[in-house]
Structure 1
């Protein structure tokens, strides 16, 4: 199922679920204007097609004491497939790395690193990020405020 194949009811279902993934099917049906059975069938179709990839709890970084956010540009000394695969596998094992993107531009990867404070970030950089395979240099940008964060794709 492609985004272009989603009708307005599918989009309503997805918007409701992004606000509350634990909403009962009966309540979801009421909110989108259908009965329970067709909504359950649509949910199954959205899951089977891979549009819905899972359900999870959204945690509060503030309540967990993880309020320090940094973005790190990473440059590698080798960008052949084996080096990229080694870096990708290693970066997935660092829990403080919340997001990682391969970039087309003046550097190779952009990381979003979440930590407790600057001292914790320095530890993550020294013990984790700088020891990742093929890392040759990094540049850090510290976030002062999250203006938009963790939003869902526009539907």
Structure 2
């Protein structure tokens, strides 16, 4: 099913759930003006078809001690499928990496990495990224202020 084929009720369900995944079926049905059974069937279908990939709690990074957000650009040593896969395998094992994107242009990847402090960042860059066989160059920027951070889609 394509996004264009979702009706107004499906879009409303998705919109409300992305803002509060804890909504009960009763609360959700009231907000979208559907019966609880209709709402439940639609929600289940949206989950089964992959529009809803899961539910999670959004944790407070600062309270949990990960107050330093870092944007790290990475250039690979060689540009071939095996090297890119080795780098992807490395990233999959690193919980500090919250986002990783392959790019066009000058750098190969951009990472969003959280660390407790500068020392941890230095250890991560110098002890994990730079020594890895797939990596040629790393450039790090520390985020001074986050103006907007969301995973909500503009439905």
TM normalised by structure 1 equals 0.95
- Matched residue of 2:58: which SS? coil
2: distance between equivalents of 1:135 and 1:125?
11
2: distance between equivalents of 1:2 and 1:107?
33
CA distance 1:50–1:134, shift in 2 (3 Å): same
1:38-70 Cα offsets, whole Å, 9 max, x none, are 111111111111111111111110110111011
2: distance between equivalents of 1:49 and 1:70?
34
Alignment check: 8 A CA contact 1:103 1:110 kept: yes
Alignment check: 8 A CA contact 2:19 2:152 kept: no
Q: In the alignment, which residue of structure 2 is the partner of 1:32?
A: 32
> Counterparts in 2 of 1:80-119, with a 5 A limit?
80-119=80-119
2: distance between equivalents of 1:11 and 1:118?
42
> Counterparts in 2 of 1:122-137, with a 5 A limit?
122-137=122-137
Alignment check: 8 A CA contact 1:72 1:112 kept: yes
Alignment check: 8 A CA contact 1:91 1:132 kept: no
Aligned residues: 155
CA RMSD of aligned residues (A): 1.1
> Counterparts in 2 of 1:56-95, with a 5 A limit?
56-95=56-95
Deviates most, 107-116 or 6-15: 6-15
- Matched residue of 2:130: which SS? helix
2: distance between equivalents of 1:112 and 1:144?
13
Structure 1: which 4+ aligned runs deviate by more than 4 Å?
none
Deviates most, 141-150 or 96-105: 141-150
- Matched residue of 1:128: which SS? helix
2: distance between equivalents of 1:6 and 1:123?
47
2: distance between equivalents of 1:94 and 1:127?
12
